[in-house]
Homo-oligomer: A and B are copies of this chain.
Amino acid sequence: MEELYCGLIKIGVMGSAGGEMDAEITERCREMGRTIAREGCAILTGGCPGLPHAAVLGCKEEGGITIGVSPALSIQEHVGRYGSPTDNIDVMIFTGSGLMGREIIGVRSCDIVLIVGGRSGTLGEFAIAYDEGRMIGVLTGTDGVADHIHEILDIIKKPTGSRMFFDDDPVRLVQRCVASFKADPPVILEREARG
């Protein structure tokens, strides 16, 4: 039998690391993190502040495992150069390839990518996940990239096999994604030249 995933199911939470943070959206991210833990999955973020870190805190409240994929090459650079948090991250991966360079490692390492709010960094993560045909969940009602995925898909007009879920409820979104993933884990393989 072919291996379909290994170890913990890793769920990425990609979204605004800066800018204003709405209290209600922040709380939904935190609930998303709690649900990830309750489902027995690990959370993965860019090791950044903002909405993803709210989800990390929620995950940790419920005893989940938390992974950060840092732009920095060391903890000192993570803190000193990027002003990024170190609390509540169990496993920090240091890429040393910068904010946009580390996105590829983060997305590829996720079984499921969740989009919350988001600006140009998140747009890049969505583009990678979608182009590689990965499973994507969108927390709607969080503004930014998350609330405009349909328009972006209309622009892209490229079917890649990416399975997508939309929900404004963080618990339901995580549960639907995890159930679909377990029932039928996507097969992700590099394809031929695309644009």
Contact = CB atoms under 8 A, between A and B. Distances in A.
A54 to B, nearest CB: 12
A193 B99 contact: yes
Total identical chains: 4
B86 A3 contact: yes
A117 B157 CA distance: 11
Please classify how large the interface on chain A is, using the bins under 10, 10 to 19, 20 to 34, 35 or more: 35 or more
B193 A83 contact: yes
Nearest to A132: B100
Contacts of A67: 91
Interface string A1-34: 0111111101000111111000000000000000
A100 B82 CA distance: 20
B17 A195 contact: yes
A97 B93 CA distance: 14
Contacts of A66: 7
B194 A91 contact: no
Given A49-B193, A94-B108, A188 B127 contact: no
Contacts of A71: 190, 193
A95 interface: yes
A108 to B, nearest CB: 4
Contacts of A193: 17-18, 46, 48-50, 71, 82-84, 99
Interface in A160-178: 160
Interface of A: 2-8, 10, 14-19, 42, 46, 48-52, 65-67, 69, 71, 73-84, 86-87, 89-101, 103-105, 108-109, 117-124, 127-128, 130-132, 144-145, 148, 151-152, 155-158, 160, 187-195
